Amino acid sequence: MNYTLFKPLLALAALFSSFSSVLAQTTLVTYPTKPVNIVVAYAPGGQGDTFARMVSEKLTHIYKQPILVDNKPGVSGTVGTRYAVQSKNDGYTLLLGQLGEMVVNRLLIKDLGYDPIKDLVPVVLIGNSPLVMLAPADAPYNTVAEFIQLARSKPGEVSYGSVGAGTPGHLSAVALGLGAKLNMIHVPYKGVGPLMNDLMAGRLQAFFSSAPAAMPQIKGGKLKALAVTTPQRMSSLPQVPTVAESGLPGFSYTLWGGLFAPAGTPANVIESLNREVNTIMSMPDIRTRMDADNMAVPKNSAAEFMDYVKTESLKYEKLVKDANIKLEQ
């Protein structure tokens, strides 16, 4: 057979293959070609907003395009999350998703109208931080074991505060109650200020607080720390044990946040964002800021973040079911 006739076709195929490769590389290199919005489902000032602004500032310099933070608060984070879910999946609308809007809301809010696990894809985990179990400074208990002993001796009398049903502080206390078989009273507040005041006055017996909110009260001697909720101790509170060390092995409840994109967002866009955000989180100035707030910054791929979200979902599904938690709003 004479293969001479096929040479032009082979040359054309090679040219097409080369063109496709260049096109794919160009698509990756040129993203983004216009401003990118990072939606935060809460008002400015919270952990998610801090993450988004920290990353957006650096990404703006890296991508040479404005990376804008778009706060869309409302209904426990569902307004902003729904907006992100319904956005075009081209990489120009992202969500700074946290535990509540990505995992908890789908378990406690009926007729959510979307499933964040299916409708959003993980891009990169930005940070993970402990909660601190706080007690009044003059409380007669100094350890988790002593707190448990008190709660068991007064079933239905010991109370703990939270900033709302389904929040990390509430769910951590629920997990403690289940693990230690305690009967406690949940007192939800609309803000952390009034809660802290009641805790300092002894009208509450415990509160699982974020580390940034807890540290000033601990350092000022107004409240004391009984334990932290991460598997490892906090570097800024090395003398304070973990809940796991205090008699509840495996106890691990944290605050985390990361970037998510609408399902179907191109893989090369996800890879670019993951790579650049991981680079940002390793920068010395960013590490210093995160360390100051006791935030862990694990380098992670999009696939690893997806596995983490799935693991967290299963953990909270079991907790909500075992405790028969209902939304209290």
The confidence score (pLDDT) of residue 297 equals 86
Query: Which of these ranges, 20-24, 187-191, 214-218, 309-313, has the smallest mean pLDDT?
Result: 20-24
The confidence score (pLDDT) of residue 327 equals 64
Strand partners, 132: 209, 228
Domain locations along the chain: 31-128+255-323, 130-228
135: helix, strand or coil: strand
Q: Check whether 7 has a pLDDT greater than 70.
A: no
The confidence score (pLDDT) of residue 22 equals 43
320: which residues sit within 8 A by CB, 6+ positions away?
A: 104, 107, 108
- Check if 31-128+255-323 and 130-228 are the same fold: yes
Q: Rounded to the nearest 5°, which phi and psi values hold at 253?
A: -135, 120
CA angle 257, 259, 265 (to 5 degrees): 155
Average of per-residue pLDDT across 35-48? 94
Asked if 65 and 36 count as a contact pair (C-beta separation under 8 A), the reply is: yes
Asked if 98 and 84 count as a contact pair (C-beta separation under 8 A), the reply is: no
Amino acid identity at 245: E
DSSP 130: E
pTM of the full predicted structure? 0.86
* Tokens encoding 227: 């334990």
Provide the CATH topology of domain 31-128+255-323.
Answer: D-Maltodextrin-Binding Protein; domain 2 (3.40.190)
Q: How far apart are the two ends of the chain, measured CA to CA in Å?
A: 79
* Tokens encoding 232: 């490892």
pLDDT in tens, 87-139: 999 999 999 999 999 999 999 998 899 999 999 999 999 999 999 999 999 99
CA 116 to CA 262: how far, in whole Å?
Answer: 9
Percent of the chain whose pLDDT exceeds 90: 81
Q: Check whether 203 has a pLDDT greater than 70.
A: yes
The CATH H-level (homologous superfamily) assignment of domain 130-228 is: Periplasmic binding protein-like II (3.40.190.10)
CA 72 to CA 122: how far, in whole Å?
Answer: 20
Which band of pLDDT confidence, cut at 50, 70 and 90, is reported for residue 205? very high
The confidence score (pLDDT) of residue 5 equals 47
DSSP 315: H
Which band of pLDDT confidence, cut at 50, 70 and 90, is reported for residue 10? very low
Q: Check whether 211 has a pLDDT greater than 70.
A: yes
- Could you tell me which of 117, 101, 99 has the C-alpha nearest to residue 109? 101
24: which residues sit within 8 A by CB, 6+ positions away?
A: 268
Q: Rounded to the nearest 5°, which phi and psi values hold at 32?
A: -95, 155
Give the CB-side neighbour count of residue 243, counting CA atoms within 13 A. 24
Q: Check whether 218 has a pLDDT greater than 70.
A: yes
Q: Check whether 228 has a pLDDT greater than 50.
A: yes
The confidence score (pLDDT) of residue 29 equals 54
| Backbone torsion region of residue 196, taken as left when φ is above 0, otherwise alpha when ψ lies between -120 and 50, otherwise beta | alpha
